[in-house]
Structure 1
Amino acid sequence: MEDRLAVHELISLHGHLMDSGAFERMDELFSADVVYDLSAFGSGELHGYEAITEASLALGSGNPVGHHVTNICVSEDVDGTVRVRSKGIGIYADGRVGSVVYEDVVRKEPGGWRIAYRKVILRRVPLQP
């Protein structure tokens, strides 16, 4: 239960750090070798939290003003891989709202749980299998 709670806290931390621009704290969220898959946005894969920071800064005011995460589901594969699937809602300054699914692989490191892989899947069609 302690690990499960820590993973929930980790996933929740994403929005707080990103929305406040606390890029100096990305090492609290991601492993150093993180792969952040933004292929659904046409951005391919970002490697390392420095690349995530650079991409976020480059997007500037195109970033959501709020990243909200909900429906966090944690599972463990037979081989011990811990997967997290959650829903994300992005609120933009102009009032637009977007919905995504985050598919994460997390791992326990000396400093605690970190996201090692994140795939962001756009949700634009209802009841999409």
Structure 2
Amino acid sequence: MTADDRIAITDLINLHGHLTDRGDFDGLAALFTPGVVYDVSALGGGELTGLEALRAAALALGEANPVAHHVTNIVLRETADGVVHALSKGLGIMADGSAGSVTYEDTLERTPAGWRITHRVVRPRRTPLRG
């Protein structure tokens, strides 16, 4: 993985919050493959397959969607077959000011259109570390 690949993948992951927060569902094609599997099982939403399923789920949530998505702590690891695994932290700010934290576990592949996420698992963080 080159430095340019790292920058492109990091930018792609960072762009997710901008597109989602403004409701630019057509723009999600710049992030995800058409058949992306978006696993929100840990949040009670099951596995969503495809860009249209992402759009439908976001619209169904309506006012329950966060008003802001923020991503940080992106760590990339390339496998021998050229697939990249990304681990990052997500923060969601709700309309009432409350916040939540998740971990994103992404699988990315280079496509003719550039790097795209083929699979994302969203895991909420609900309890603090206990020593």
Aligned residue number for residue 75 of structure 1: 77
Instruction: Kindly provide the amino acid, as one letter, of the partner of residue 48 in structure 2.
Output: L
Aligned residue number for residue 107 of structure 1: 109
- Contact map agreement 2:82 2:109 (CA 8 A) in 1: no
d(CA) in 2 for partners of 1:25, 1:79: 28
User: CA offset at residue 22 of structure 1?
Assistant: 0.3
Task: Show CA shifts across 1:39-67 (max 9, x none).
Answer: 01111100001100110011011000000
Q: Percent identity?
A: 55
Aligned residue number for residue 126 of structure 2: 124
- Contact map agreement 2:39 2:46 (CA 8 A) in 1: yes
- The count of residues paired between Structure 1 and Structure 2 equals 128
d(CA) in 2 for partners of 1:3, 1:19: 25
- Over the aligned positions, Cα root-mean-square deviation in angstroms equals 1.0
Instruction: Kindly provide the amino acid, as one letter, of the partner of residue 77 in structure 1.
Output: T
User: CA offset at residue 111 of structure 1?
Assistant: 1.1
List, as ranges, runs of 4+ consecutive aligned residues in structure 1 with deviation greater than 6 Å: none
Q: Secondary structure at the match of 2:96?
A: coil
Q: Which runs of 5+ in 2 are unaligned?
A: none
d(CA) in 2 for partners of 1:37, 1:9: 21
TM-score by length of 1: 0.96
Task: Show CA shifts across 1:7-38 (max 9, x none).
Answer: 00000010000000001111111101100000
d(CA) in 2 for partners of 1:32, 1:95: 33
TM-score by length of 2: 0.94
Q: Which runs of 5+ in 1 are unaligned?
A: none
* 2:62 maps to which of 47, 60, 69: 60
